[in-house]
Amino acid sequence: MIVLNHVGKQYGRMHTALADVNFHIQAGEFVFLTGPSGAGKSSLLKLLFRQQVPTSGEIRLAGHRLGEMPEKEIPVLRRKMGVVFQDFKLIHSMTVFENVAFVLRIMGVSFPEQKNRAFRALKMVGLQHKLSNFPLQLSGGEQQRVAIARALVNDPLVLLADEPTGNLDPDLAQEIMSLFERINGQGTTVLVATHDRSLIQRMKKRVLGLEHGHLAFDTPAPSSTLAV
Ligand SMILES: Nc1ncnc2c1ncn2[C@@H]1O[C@H](COP(=O)(O)OP(=O)(O)OP(=O)(O)O)[C@@H](O)[C@H]1O
Ligand SMILES: [Mg+2]
């Protein structure tokens, strides 16, 4: 589902954010991406979302070759993906419902269907009662959950999440991870960038570790959890 071959990313001439990163993620896997601040986690997710292009190497995702992809194919790629950004990127002038339903509207989904699907996604994160609120009327954790609902509303093939539990208390963080597991159980490939070591330890999934832009380790899920 996701293949990186010798991927490098430089910002400007001097700064190397990623260097010679190689890995495969199969369809249906649940994988954590970890590493210290500045290691390149967000940079890697931005490449996968085609928000940025690699300086070198090749990325394939859901049948697309991201490097050579013409601009007009970007929306086709993104429709297959759900993304939770580190800074949420909610639109403050739109209600919670409008934020979540936005992608469906763009895709030309009928209004009743937008309502059904947005409600279902908000219910998954426990925020169906906040439909008509604006993002700035919500707590940080609630905004984060709206961002997660927005990423899930489209039943994505691939879910990318950048520190999705960064602003949540441990119970809520665990709930969000259980939600991701459920989504993963329905076939969505999940890649979660996080610093949270205790979360990673509890979840027992494959872990990719970045250090200074290099892939320092790729630890498979403990075998006891593979046979599901
Ligand atoms: N747009 C940019 N321009 C220049 N340098 C950048 C840019 N974005 C990221 N960097 C640099 O690239 C490196 C990797 O950053 P990145 O955001 O990918 O790290 P991260 O692992 O997500 O860190 P954090 O855990 O703090 O979110 C950092 O040194 C950062 O300063
Ligand atoms: Mg980051």
Structure confidence at residue 82 (pLDDT): 94
Residues in contact with ligand 1 (CB, 6 Å cut-off): 11, 15, 17, 35, 37-43, 86, 195
Residue 158 DSSP SS3: strand
Q: Give CA–CA dist 156/193, Å, rounded.
A: 17
Structure confidence at residue 166 (pLDDT): 82
How many A from CA of 193 to the centre of ligand 1? 13
Q: Give CA–CA dist 62/82, Å, rounded.
A: 13
Half-sphere exposure of 193 (CA within 13 A, CB side): 22
Q: Give CA–CA dist 114/120, Å, rounded.
A: 10
Dig out the tokens for 4 from the structure: 């990186």
How many A from CA of 88 to the centre of ligand 2? 12
Ligand 1, closest atom to CA 46? 18
Q: Give CA–CA dist 184/178, Å, rounded.
A: 10
Mean pLDDT by 10 residues, the chain (228 residues): 96 92 97 96 95 94 90 91 90 97 93 97 94 95 92 94 87 88 94 93 95 96 65
Count CB neighbours of 27 within 10 A: 12
Q: Give CA–CA dist 152/176, Å, rounded.
A: 12
Structure confidence at residue 224 (pLDDT): 57
Count CB neighbours of 77 within 10 A: 18
User: Which residues partner with 58 through β-bridges?
Assistant: 5
Structure confidence at residue 68 (pLDDT): 83
